[in-house]
Amino acid sequence: MLAAGSAMPALALAGWLLAGLPLLLLGWFRPLPMALLGGGTAVLLCWYGLRRLPETVDALARHTAAVIGIALASGLFNGFLHGEQLLVRRDPATYAQYAIWMARHGSLPIPYGDGAFGGPDPALRFDSMGFYDFHGAIVPQFMPGPPMLDGIGYWLGGVPGLLLVPPVLGALAVLVFAGTVARLAGGRWAPLAALVFAVSMPILYTSRTTFSEIPSLILLFGGMTLLLDARRRLRAGSGALTAAGLAGLVFGLALLVRIDGLRDVLPVLAYAGLLIALRRISGPPSPELARPDPSRRFPDGRLGAPLLAGLAVGGFCGFAACYLLARPYLEYLSGSLLPLLAICAAVVVVTAVGTALAPRIAVRVAARRASQRRSGGVTRRLPGARRWPRLPEWSAALVVLVMAGFAVRPWLQTVRRVAVTQEDQLTADFIQKAQMANRLPVDGTRLYYEDSLYWVIWYVGVPVVVLATIAAAVLARRLARGRGLEWLLPLAIIGWTTVTTLWRPAITPDHPFAARRLVPVVIPGLILLAVWGLRWARDRLRITGRGTRLAMTAGVLLLVVPPVVTSIGTAFSPVERGEAAAIARMCAAIPRDASVLIVERVTGDRFTQLVRGQCGIPTARIKNPKGSSVALGFDVRRLIGEVRETGRRPVLVAAQEDQLAPYGTATQVLRLDTTQDERSLADPPDAVWSLKVDVWMVEPR
């Protein structure tokens, strides 16, 4: 049950996304087509991925029950305390409004609807925060994968249903992660890992609102799980190639959820190439050899081609979606995405060359070994092993040195970025305001990235980081000796993503928002390594003949207590509650035959797409002159007249009553007094801040 249940969520998500993308491109992303095609594809992938599954975990009934109980408790807890981020202020609300539009209309991009305003006008703007104006239409900022999943909740229960999708995905993430732990560390350790994972504040945070990180985590760790199962299937002789292909597909579809998932799956590309090279080496003996060489038998090599094929299909879907549906976002990320694409191209070239030359290299090595045997110099080591006899120790030392480097980084470096673009300046202004609120020295160029390892320590504690470092060093040493090969890809993904993320988180550094960057790989990866490290420490104690019960109790407490202590400050404090009801009242107050003109800048940022998509009313904002937050009066009056000529009712919207006073008596249609996330820069978040939002409306005279 644990083996199948922990692999099923990734397969189901992959099937839904695989079917959803072409339907969205065709404008048919509707409940019935998705129920038939998306649901059918999900069932089909689960059937082929799970049938005749050999024993892959050693969990007992109590271990499985504990994992399922933790996953259910996580879903219920986060569901009860879920957020309601619908006002477009930061990324979760962008995803929510993106999902609402897709669920209601089934197509992209979003049309202007300028016919409701009398046609094009130089003073009209249809873009807003998170929604770009691109080639005569509105394009949402992010990848379409998360809104495809959130749309299920909207179809089932409207906005309240949409807001409950993240807790469900969070519970599934607990299950998937526990399944990976069970396969790599053992079933008895899965409940501990699931508990530490579930109580970590970044997991709580991203499981309560519409982020992309939890679906990405499900696909990445689900891909690891399926590939581990493929190795077991290979030895059991049942469906290994299909499982490897599905693992590659799941990995590749991570790009459909987050385009920067390309970085996370780069090790999969190299690993697939390595397996193909090993497969070529495992072919028939070369004519230069008198007899077959047993050392050239690598059964795992058979998994390389299907893994690479699945990765290519999933990756193609991600790139196609990015180019066709999120081109402005692609251009916005070009500064970081282009170097990543260059690295990807280099990995492809190196992998291809290594794969092509692998048989020739193997023949030369084998011929040299045969020559040594004929001359009496029998050796069991390859030439490379003689040249690098200390490679295992060096590998372990490198792991420790890298983590030590991140630990001392704040004393050696202060990461800054001088604003050169408008986006950079907005980020600098945001950081300055957060610094003033935190009573820190005001310096908008600071990014605080040098503290990234300490962000991890805030959320999982020093014991997890120390144990994970020891475990990674031990595993790197084993891999350098050719042992523990099931860890090769998981350790590569965890190590590569952790180092690159900690070096450059590429996110505004306020917490808890910045904590989302640690969710897909860093936090679950370190918890996985820490739990394995605790198991390794227990085994070492047993070898020495010492008792382990007290030590293991202390170890469990050291893993669980620190994340609980950090999380307790915000775990029971949902944010932005009341928005759904307030927005529903506002939508009801706006006439159905209205054309809404937003005359104030901040209200335009937050409400343009919300009124257009969630209220279903044509909406535009009126351009503000430089240095002013309110539109010019003659622009407003001209556009009022143009709307009336279409036969629709002009409605003006702003944040304050006096901003609408020149046009009539205003009515307050939204008054929200709620809470928002803290914006902590130098300490873990331990509270929430207040948030007040007002919207006034007038039907001009």
- How confident is the model at residue 381, as a pLDDT? 46
DSSP 515: G
Instruction: For residue 366, report the phi and psi dihedrals to the nearest 5 degrees.
Output: -65, -40
The CA-atom distances, in angstroms, between 626 and each of 40, 130, 653, 654 are 53, 21, 20, 18
**Dihedral sign computed on CA atoms, order 413, 418, 424, 425:** positive
Beta carbons of 671 and 654 less than 8 angstroms apart:
no
Q: Answer positive or negative: Cα dihedral of 416, 417, 419, 422.
A: negative
Structure tokens given for 630: 């309110």
C-alpha span between 598 and 281 (Å, rounded): 67
Q: What angle do CA 667, 671, 674 make, to 5 degrees?
A: 175
Q: How far apart are CA 658 and CA 687, in angstroms?
A: 34
Question: Model pTM?
Answer: 0.93
Residue 649, strand partner residues: 594
**Residue 594 main-chain phi, psi, to 5 deg:** -85, 155
CA–CA distance from 104 to each of 45, 99, 109, 131, 609 (Å)?
27, 8, 13, 17, 13
Would you state the pLDDT for residue 385? 46
pLDDT at position 383, please?
A: 45
pLDDT at 384: 47
- Residue 392 confidence (pLDDT): 86
Whose tokens are 């807001």? That residue is 163
Predicted pLDDT at 364: 65
Give me the DSSP letters along 267-305: HHHHHHHHHHHHHHHTSSPPTTSSS--GGG--GGGGGHH
Half-sphere exposure of 486 (CA within 13 A, CB side): 17
pLDDT at 297: 62
Q: How many CA atoms lie within 13 A of 393 on its CB side?
A: 3
Q: Which strands form 667-677's sheet, in the order they lie side by side?
A: 124-125, 619-622, 594-598, 649-654, 688-698, 667-677
Chain centroid to CA 117: 39
Looking at residue 528, its pLDDT comes to 97
Instruction: Yes or no: say if 95 and 216 are a contact pair by the CB < 8 Å rule.
Output: no
Q: Could you list the mean pLDDT of each consecutive 10-residue stretch along the chain, which spans 701 residues?
A: 94 97 96 96 94 86 95 97 95 96 95 90 93 93 95 96 97 97 94 97 96 96 96 86 95 94 93 87 53 58 92 95 90 79 83 74 63 56 54 91 96 88 84 93 92 96 96 94 90 96 93 95 97 93 79 93 94 94 96 95 95 95 90 93 93 95 94 95 93 95 78
